Structure 1
Amino acid sequence: MEHITHKLKKAPVSLLLMVCALLLLTVESCKKKRSDMANALYKITPNKAFKNITPEGLTPVFQKVLADEKKNLTNPQQIAAFYAQNEYDPIYVMDHLGNNDLKSFNTYLQKAGEHGLDPKIFNAQAYNALLNKFYDKTAIKTTDEAYHDMAELEVMTANVLINYSNALQFGLISPRRIYARYFTKTLRPDSNSVNQVLGIKNIKTYLDSIQPKNPQYIALQKALAAGNTAPGLTKEETDRIIKVNLERLRWKNKPSEDKYVVVNIPDFRLDVMEGGKSSLNMKVCVGEGRNKDYTNNLVEYDDSDKTDRPFSRETPQLNSLIYEAQVNPIWNIPQSIVNKEIVKHAGDDPYYLDNNNIEVYQNGKKLEDTENIKWGSEDLTKYEFKQKPGDDNSLGKIKFLFPNKSSVYLHDTPAKAAFGLKMRAVSHGCVRLEKPLDLAHSLFGDGDKYEMIKQFMSEDNPKPTDVALPKKVPVYITYVTCWADETGTLQYRPDVYGLDIVLFAHMQKFLGI
């Protein structure tokens, strides 16, 4: 220490002043900021209860409120860590109460219903009541009450602002948590998104920036506000369908590529999208669903519907990349179909396998004689059943492959009559295509590969051929029951898998219903 003092004595006066300033700043940084806290809040309120408040007096109250409210916070650890790092400085109250930012936030909360979200989800009524106390010069009576209400408003603002921001940007619910067959990558809030909210400098600007701008979203909002009633539905049913589809639009899982294939399960339709517009569309058949007769609607649900229990044949929701077309494919018949269908047909008709070009393999070798198979009493898992290429092959003349956990694909079919049905949830889970050659043309374009596909599909003695796509194309299998078409008219589709019911039931959980 003496050595340092000796050095300083010899230093220029300017350097001494600089060192002193640095020491002073270091000491000051350890003190609480906001020395003008009392005057600043008194000007805003103006309430005498704030005249004697200090940062030192607020800190223990703030810490206690944080501890008491921990169970009610969505991100308690991050919020507590943020304020600990900032010396329990009431940032929202001090920086945003006087510039009307908190009033703007309160207005957005009260209008959450415009998004199909009940304001109760965000505790909007309590927030409104607490905020208004600060603009009533007689509502807060004592210094102790001022400390408590400051801490309460600060913590509530942080928590509710995070929840509101997350709901609008990511949705209330993670679809991967509520749907058993959901394999679409969906971004969810994380520590970075929470820290971004806690670091907001201008709340009004931020809130404006996160309001959804998607034209589909805005169209559904307008329909909800107008009180539209869909044909054949009650107003309550219509509102609920719009609300669940607004939630789907908030999920961060929408295609961003210039070209992709999308299948909408309830619409039984495939579109090839290019530059934001459909360049090809066709009817499809999808997997059989639990609500195929449409007897269940959004009004009639109970606690059991809050758990997703899909029918075994439902087509999953997913995103992937189409990488290959198999022309004249061999159908490797799934064991479930063998057990439920092949057993019955082959047991009743000894010629069933031959008539349907189905071959049986054991240990990789084809069985020349299948008469010894004991249908119905033998374990058939030791056999493999394959249907040869041909006009009656269940996969038709072509299938399009993309990696997925459910072994589903897009494929042709010899059962063309089903495309004339209005309700086309009739497959075992894969997506049957009305115009498979058109899809091949869209994916491969003009050229040798497409011409080869077209030729091979028309041959009398077809052979399985794999044709790799020169560039992989994204595919999205999704579930949307309400949207605005090209003319702006709202389209509604029945909830063939009951997934609207499941989603709405989970949304109700946020209200404690």
Structure 2
Amino acid sequence: MIPIPIRKHFLPIILSTCFVLLLALQSCKKKHSVIADEMFRVTKNEIFKKADTADYIPVFNKVFANYRKKIANPLVIESFFKKNGYEPILVVNHLNNGDLDALPEYISRINEHGLDPSSYPTEEIKTLVAKLKDKAAIKTIEEGYETLAKLEILTAGAFVKYSNALQYGVMNPKKLYSRYFMATRRPDSVGMLATLSTANFKTYLDSIQPKNPQYLAIQKAYRDSVTLNGLSREESKRYLLVALERLRWRNKPYEPKYVIVNIPDYRLDVMEDGKSVLNMKVCVGQGRNMENQNTLAHFEDTARVDKPYPRETPLLNSIIHSVEVNPVWNIPRSIATKEIIVEAANDRYYLANKNIDVFKDGKRIADPETIDWLQVTPDNLEYEFKQRPGEENSLGKIKFLFKNRSSVYLHDTPNKLAFRHAMRAVSHGCVRVGDPLGLAKNLFGEGADLDTIANDMVINKPEPTNIGLPKKTPIYITYVTCWADENGAIQYRQDVYGLDIVLYAHMENIVAK
């Protein structure tokens, strides 16, 4: 073959290209040597001197495909390794500082939180760690790649799962309950990726242990197998397990002052700087389990599905922004169809005696006694009903307003007898307060507004008075059946809405055995 002469103007291009290729080859060689250098440094196993990231990645992907369904949050785990070029950074950074030994130890004690450690691959993690620390255990680089990949993936999955469980709970209440409207933080990819990038596992694991005094008190009762008065040991254990899970949810008040209603305790507290400065009895909406026919000791599989009674008070958080003194009650259609038209059919003067006005197409009907209420049914009801202010008004003399999708509020009531009963799930969904003027005094403080409220609650004004709060106050309507009182004694209340049963039914297979 006759050699083709190289023209002079091509020579710089060829030399430049060769230089770039040489740099690229050196760069690749350097990149591929990182895994070898680091793995040999941490394991002292000669076999890892042969390691090459390009050869490791396919093994990692194969192992990950096998483990994808066995680990929590696989998309986040995968993105973490992809972001780091699939380098075995968890092993490199944590094998020799005790972190990979500490993680299984913490997980093995998760039963102290009422959760089952067997749902974590702790034994497999310990075996893989021991194998990597044994300089003679891994004989081939292929075996080394598989051991690395398994340990990286299982460690990442277990670390994130444990972290999420302790900081956010194992269940998402928004997915469990159909009437749950509380702002609740849940783990996100940003937080989980930050967790995996933690410099020191043990320090982090210590930092996320629950420190809330309520949590520690319930946890101690659980550890000590405390039996609650009137319950079996097994049902007591389940009450405590459910209480621990609820305490892990990120839905707690954080403001220095707030109003909180606990449905099962039928109680309202005004909290300031962590202390109750005012408390009173309340009546809440009727529930599905008022007769305690279903308990944590015995329930059907269908308990996994939340089927609320129509009158149950929703769980929510909002802001009390104003009050209405001598309020008008806009009667909900559900009450109108089941009660108002029935009473009107039985007694033609019922509406007048109860100060209830009837409207059609927005216009008030002057003489509703002329309507044949026997012919009015829920299907053909074309009327609306409003109860005027007065002694008979079902909202009493004042209501406290806050935005919510369920149209509920706190209010006074003319029916004071209900507060004498222990079981006070008697309303249509709103919360009746036992001391409405006391609550107003706390929220408004002394002054002209409070004077107006107190005066208007005594006289029968025909029109409502609306007054905005000088400082809007957060409100939380929550559901807690088990807690430690100020003396440290464990209290519990009947699961009047069956929400404990729904929660435990979902947790039954992941709680400590």
Fold similarity call, TM over 0.5:
yes
Amino acid at match of 1:448: A
Give the conservation status (yes or no) of the 8 Å contact 1:324–1:401.
Answer: yes
2:417 is aligned with what amino acid? A
Written as runs of structure 1 = structure 2, the 5 A alignment for 1:209-220 is 209-220=207-218
Counterpart residue identity of residue 506, structure 1: H
Secondary structure of the structure 1 residue equivalent to 2:359: strand
State the identity as a percent.
52
Task: Give per-residue Cα distances to partners, 1:219-241, cap 9 Å, x unaligned.
Answer: 11111111111011111111111
1:54 aligns with 2:51: yes
C-alpha displacement of 1:305: 0.8
1:84 aligns with 2:85: no
Change (3 A) 1:139 1:27: closer
Q: Say if 1:59 and 1:88, in contact at 8 Å, map to a contact too.
A: yes
Q: Which moved more, 1:395-404 or 1:184-193?
A: 184-193
Give, in angstroms, the shift of residue 110 of structure 1. 0.4
Shift of 1:174: 1.3
CA, structure 1 residues 141+4, in 2 after alignment: closer, same or farther (shift >3 Å)?
closer
Q: Give unpaired runs (5+ residues) of structure 1.
A: 8-18
Partner of 2:31: 30
Question: Cα offset for 1:377?
Answer: 3.3
* Per-residue Cα deviation, 1:388-432 (whole angstroms, up to 9, x for no partner): 111121100000000000010000001111111111111000000
Q: How far off its partner does 1:50 sit?
A: 5.2
Contact 1:53–1:147 under 8 Å retained in 2: no
Local SS of the residue matching 1:382: coil
Report the CA distance shift for 1:168/1:67 in structure 2 as closer, same or farther (over 3 A). same
**Deviation at 1:42?**
3.7
**Corresponding residue for residue 442 of structure 1:** 442
Superposed, which structure 2 residues align to 1:130-145 within 5 Å? 130-134=128-132, 143-145=141-143
CA RMSD in angstroms, aligned pairs only:
2.8
Q: How does 1:250-269 map to 2 (within 5 A)?
A: 250-269=248-267
Tell me by how many angstroms 1:101 deviates.
0.7
Distance 1:448 1:501 in 2: 48
Match of residue 162, structure 1, among 144, 160, 173: 160
SS at match of 1:172: coil
Alpha carbons 2:116, 2:512 under 8 Å: kept: no
Q: Equivalent residue for 2:424?
A: 424
Matches within 5 A, 1:224-303: 224-303=222-301
Write the distance in 2 (CA, Å) between the matches of 1:147 and 1:100.
21
The alignment partner of 1:238 has SS state of: helix
What is the alpha-carbon distance in structure 1 between the residues aligned to residue 394 and residue 250 of structure 2? 36
Answer yes or no: is the 8 Å Cα contact 2:326–2:461 preserved in 1: no
Query: Secondary structure at the residue paired with 1:341?
Result: helix
Measure, in 2, the Cα distance between the counterparts of 1:5 and 1:277: 80
User: What TM-score do you get using the length of structure 2 for normalisation?
Assistant: 0.90
Kindly state the Cα deviation for residue 132 of structure 1 after the two structures are TM-superposed. 4.7
Partner residue in 1 for 2:73: 75
State the AA in 1 paired with 2:120: F
* Structure 1 contact 360–384 (Cα < 8 Å) conserved: yes
CA distance in 2, matches of 1:509, 1:193: 27
> Which letter maps to 1:457?
M
2:367 and 2:113 map into 1 onto residues whose CA distance is 64
Whole-angstrom distance in 2 between the partners of 1:380 and 1:319? 36
Q: Is the 8 A contact 1:32 1:87 kept in 2?
A: no
Deviation at 1:190, TM superposition (A): 1.0
Q: How many angstroms apart in 1 are the aligned matches of 2:235 and 2:125? A: 30
One-letter code aligned to 2:497: Y
| Equivalent residue number for residue 369 of structure 1 | 367
Say whether 1:482 aligns with 2:482. Answer: yes
1:459 and 2:462 correspond: no
Matched residue SS, 1:319 = strand
Say whether residues 1:319 and 2:309 are aligned partners: no
**Do the aligned partners of residues 125 and 230 (structure 1) sit closer, same or farther apart at CA in structure 2, a change above 3 Å counting?**
farther
SS in 2 for 1:217: helix
1:309 aligned counterpart, secondary structure: coil
- Number of the residue aligned with 1:493: 493
Q: 1:29 and 1:371, CA in 2 relative to 1: closer, same or farther beyond 3 A? A: farther
Given candidates 174, 182, 185, the residue that maps to 1:184 is 182
Alignment check: 8 A CA contact 1:346 1:353 kept = yes
Asked if 1:147 is matched to 2:145, the reply is yes
Task: Give the equivalent residue in structure 1 for 2:120.
Answer: 122
Asked if 1 retains the 8 angstrom alpha-carbon contact of 2:326 and 2:398, the reply is yes
Of 327, 331, 334 in structure 2, the residue corresponding to residue 333 of structure 1 is 331
The superposition leaves residues 302-351 of structure 1 with CA deviations (integer Å, 9 ceiling, x where unpaired) of 32111111000000000000011000001111111111111221111112
Native 8 Å contact 2:43 2:135 kept in 1: no
Q: Given that residues 47 and 139 in structure 2 are in contact (C-alpha distance below 8 angstroms), is that contact kept between their aligned partners in structure 1?
A: no
Alignment check: 8 A CA contact 2:43 2:132 kept: no
Once the two structures are overlaid, the 10-residue window that deviates more, 137-146 or 498-507, is: 137-146
Cα 1:24–1:54 shift into 2, 3 Å: closer
Does the Cα contact within 8 Å between 1:38 and 1:53 map onto a contact in 2? no
Contact 1:262 1:271 (C-alpha < 8 Å) held by counterparts: yes
Q: Could you say what secondary structure the match of 1:295 adopts?
A: coil
Scaled by the length of structure 1, what TM-score is found?
A: 0.90
Q: Which amino acid aligns with 1:100?
A: G
Amino acid at match of 1:233: L
Q: Shift of the alpha carbon at 1:242?
A: 1.1
SS in structure 2 of the partner of residue 429 of structure 1: coil
- Give the whole-Å Cα distance in 2 for the aligned partners of 1:162 and 1:501: 28
Query: 1:500 corresponds to which letter in structure 2?
Result: D
Post-superposition offset of 1:482:
0.9
Whole-Å separation in 1 of the counterparts to 2:173 and 2:26: 50
Give, in whole Å, the separation in 2 of the partners of 1:256 and 1:104: 32
SS at match of 1:113: helix
In structure 1, which of residues 359, 370, 379 is the aligned counterpart of residue 357 of structure 2? 359
Supply the AA of the counterpart residue of 2:178: A
Amino acid at match of 1:484: A
User: 1:389 maps to what in 2?
Assistant: 389
Distance 1:404 1:100, change over 3 A: same
Report the alpha carbon displacement of residue 150 of structure 1 after superposing the two structures with TM.
2.0
Residue 400 of structure 1 aligns with which residue? 400
Counterpart of 2:5 in structure 1 is none
Number of residue pairs the alignment of both structures matches:
499
Query: Hey, what's the Cα distance between the residues in 1 that align with 2:453 and 2:328?
Result: 16
Cα deviations by residue, 1:345-387 (Å, 9 ceiling, x for unpaired):
1111112111211111112222122234333532554211111
SS at match of 1:180: coil
